[in-house]
């Protein structure tokens, strides 16, 4: 389970047996949601939030924060996805210490 970002208590990660579309799991305070990145021609068109199985979903305030983070860092998320799943490289976690 590669953790790709930490942001003020939010953990963004992939499971090691993921599938398309490109998506990222986000945990904050024992809640988890999944965010599908809808990308066309390299541009983020939409983010679709869905619930993770067997765990409480992120509350609306945290979904808003996760969405804002993903919109800002989507290119990094895609690069880490490609590095891990396509190129089979180890990806490092980036700690973001400044507010959006």
As for how many domains the chain has, the answer is: 1
Determine the pLDDT at residue 18.
78
pLDDT recorded at residue 49: 97
Average pLDDT along the chain? 95
Domain that holds residue 75: 3-96
Q: Return the closest-CA partner of residue 76 out of 5, 16, 2, 1.
A: 5
pLDDT digits over 43-90, tens only?
A: 999 999 999 999 999 999 999 999 999 999 999 999 999 999 999 999
Reported pTM: 0.94
């Amino acid at each position: 389970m590669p953790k790709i970002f930490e942001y003020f208590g939010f953990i963004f990660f992939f499971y090691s047996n993921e599938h398309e579309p490109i998506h990222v799991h986000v945990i904050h305070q024992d809640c988890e949601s999944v965010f599908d990145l809808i990308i066309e021609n390299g541009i983020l068109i939409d983010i679709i939030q869905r619930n993770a199985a067997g765990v409480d979903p992120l509350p609306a305030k945290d979904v808003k924060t996760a969405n804002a983070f993903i919109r800002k860092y989507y290119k990094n998320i895609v690069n880490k996805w490609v590095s891990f799943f396509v190129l089979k490289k180890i990806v490092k976690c980036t700690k973001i210490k400044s507010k959006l």
